[in-house]
Amino acid sequence: MIQTIYIEKEIIDHPRVEQLLARFKSAEKIVCDHYGEIFNRKAQNFRFQKKNPALILAKKHKGYVLPSPDAYGIGGDKNYYFSHMMNCIYDCRYCFLQGMYRSANYVLFVNYEDTHNEIRRIANEHPDKICHFFSGYDCDSLALEPVTQFVENTLPLFDELANAWIELRTKSTQVRSLLDRPVVKNCVVAFSLSPDNIVKNLEDKTPSLQKRIEAMKKLQDKGWALGLRFDPLIYSDNYQQSYSEMFQQVFDAISSDKVHSISLGNFRMPEKFFKNMIKLYPDEKMFAGPLLEKDGMTSYPDHLEYEMMSFCEQKILDFIPAERFFPCH
Ligand code: SF4
């Protein structure tokens, strides 16, 4: 799968690098000074590179954990996000990563412990607050877990921290490592879900809705807390029917009583990223409308956002109480 691996000189002897190189024995290895030389090069084509991304092994030096935007949260007092990777094995047409980055190569920051130390520092700095840490902003939290083992290395930290929760945001069915280990009570495995027609048309390479539901059910049966993330809502002529069917399909399979939280959010994208995405996929129907630009963001018109959010909110509240529902306005 990986044919080329770039390695920053500084971490060439890191044990995690040695393990990864042993795993991809036949890949071409190229040593570099800094991942940015490869990742930020001009004149790269994200769409073309997505067909065969290289892996770049790097060290993160700052920005290990960042405060989340105010509008985002699932009931914690303080919210933060972090990523151990940049880019993703999936290829969702609405993904902001393709508008934000020049390169589709995967960057894996191997110094996990620096992120762990920062999480520990923040949690200890706020002993009377519940701190939520969201994983998977620049990547999918679980999709490459068999290769990165980031989650396996990170969960023990949350056993130690009484006031900290971790959210693992994913579309993946790579849940074997979670099923094989004891449940971490303060971990939410949060699945991003979309109706089947959207998965088929806009979420290339991702597991089907049914496969995600099966993975969720296995986790729930084992005692893991589940999050359901209906974000971004995507408009289509029959969105009411397709979203209604999806909610029914999900709640027929899993126990709503034990769902930790549900969030809901509309499609929205910084205008600059959106323009880059149109250049990559000029024929993509989703980009044709009904979207508009407002205050530097591309989104659906207000009335449509309101209509879709209200419709889905009403449906969701048939299944769970309002205190576990977190719409992102
Ligand atoms: S799963 Fe998430 S990170 Fe990966 S391509 Fe889709 S939207 Fe982007």
Q: Which tens digit of pLDDT belongs to each residue from 38-49?
A: 999 988 999 999
Share of the chain above pLDDT 70, in %: 100
Pocket around ligand 1: residues whose beta carbon is below 6 Å from it? 88, 90-92, 95, 97, 139-140, 171
Q: What share of the chain is helix, strand, coil (3-state, %, to 5)?
A: 40, 25, 35
Distance separating alpha carbons of residues 321 and 329, to the nearest angstrom: 18
Nearest atom, ligand 1, residue 203 CA: 6
In this structure, the strands spanning 325-328 and 106-109 are unpaired
Mutate to test the pocket of ligand 1, among 47, 94, 171 (most ligand atoms within 8 A of CB): 171
| pLDDT classification of 29: cutoffs 50, 70, 90 | very high
Distance 197 CA to ligand 1 centre (A): 17
* Minimal-distance CA residue to ligand 1 atom 3: 139
Write the pLDDT tens digit of every residue in 165-206: 999 999 999 999 999 999 999 999 999 999 999 999 999 999
* Minimal-distance CA residue to ligand 1 atom 8: 95
Distance separating alpha carbons of residues 301 and 289, to the nearest angstrom: 10
* Minimal-distance CA residue to ligand 1 atom 6: 92
* Minimal-distance CA residue to ligand 1 atom 2: 140
Indicate yes or no: pTM above 0.95. yes
Q: What is the pLDDT of residue 190?
A: 98
Share of the chain above pLDDT 90, in %: 95
Write the pLDDT tens digit of every residue in 286-324: 998 799 999 999 999 999 999 999 999 999 999 999 999
pLDDT higher than threshold 90 for residue 70: no
Structural domains in the chain, sorted by start: 4-328 (3.80.30.30)
Q: What is the pLDDT of residue 1?
A: 80
pLDDT higher than threshold 80 for residue 256: yes
pLDDT higher than threshold 80 for residue 329: no
Q: What is the pLDDT of residue 56?
A: 98
Distance 190 CA to ligand 1 centre (A): 13
Distance 216 CA to ligand 1 centre (A): 18
Contacts 24+ apart (CB under 8 A), 297-304: 297/268, 297/269, 297/270, 297/271, 298/268, 298/269, 298/270, 298/271, 298/274, 299/266, 299/267, 299/268, 299/269, 300/235, 300/266, 300/267, 304/235
Distance separating alpha carbons of residues 136 and 130, to the nearest angstrom: 20
Write the pLDDT tens digit of every residue in 110-169: 999 999 999 999 999 999 999 999 998 999 999 999 999 999 999 999 999 999 999 999
Q: What is the pLDDT of residue 149?
A: 97
* Minimal-distance CA residue to ligand 1 atom 7: 95
Nearest atom, ligand 1, residue 170 CA: 1
Distance 96 CA to ligand 1 centre (A): 8
What three-state secondary structure class fits 48?
helix
Mean pLDDT, the chain, as a whole number? 96
Tell me the C-alpha to C-alpha distance, in Å, between residue 238 and each of 108, 130, 300. Answer: 39, 40, 16
Tell me the C-alpha to C-alpha distance, in Å, between residue 213 and each of 177, 184, 233. Answer: 17, 20, 18
- Looking at per-residue pLDDT, the higher value among 71 and 100 belongs to 100
Backbone angles phi, psi at 172, to 5 degrees: -90, 160
Mutate to test the pocket of ligand 1, among 46, 47, 92, 204 (most ligand atoms within 8 A of CB): 92
Write the pLDDT tens digit of every residue in 13-23: 999 999 999 99
